[in-house]
């Protein structure tokens, strides 16, 4: 089966993969903190919460950058011609 991705889209794929991975890690940390606080009664340190929120936000930004990297490249290439 032939892939629809071009070799020039390598960085775009890498950004989307890294962004989605960080986002999922952030979700897992948030779920862990919420579970521990609600059912165990043991609130997590602020550092853990900050890492979770940071992973969520950075993952979302990196993923969106990867998504929009393709159209921006195509637009810049068409302006050069």
Q: What is the pTM of this model?
A: 0.76
pLDDT truncated to tens, each residue of the chain (81 aa)?
A: 677 667 778 888 889 999 999 999 999 999 999 888 888 888 888 899 999 999 999 999 999 998 888 666 666 666 665
**In whole angstroms, what is the distance from residue 29 CA to residue 62 CA?**
18
Instruction: Assign residue 2 a region (left: φ > 0; alpha: ψ between -120 and 50; beta: otherwise).
Output: beta
Sign of CA dihedral 10, 4, 62, 36: negative
Distances (CA, A) of 10 to 1, 22, 69, 70: 18, 18, 11, 11
């Amino acid at each position: 089966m032939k892939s629809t991705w071009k070799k020039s889209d390598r960085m775009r794929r890498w950004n989307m993969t890294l962004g989605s991975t960080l986002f999922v890690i952030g979700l897992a940390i948030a779920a862990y903190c919420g579970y521990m606080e609600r059912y165990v009664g043991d609130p997590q340190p602020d550092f853990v919460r900050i890492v979770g929120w940071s992973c969520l936000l950075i993952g979302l930004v990196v993923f969106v950058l990867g998504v929009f990297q393709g159209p921006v490249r195509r637009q810049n290439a068409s302006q050069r011609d």
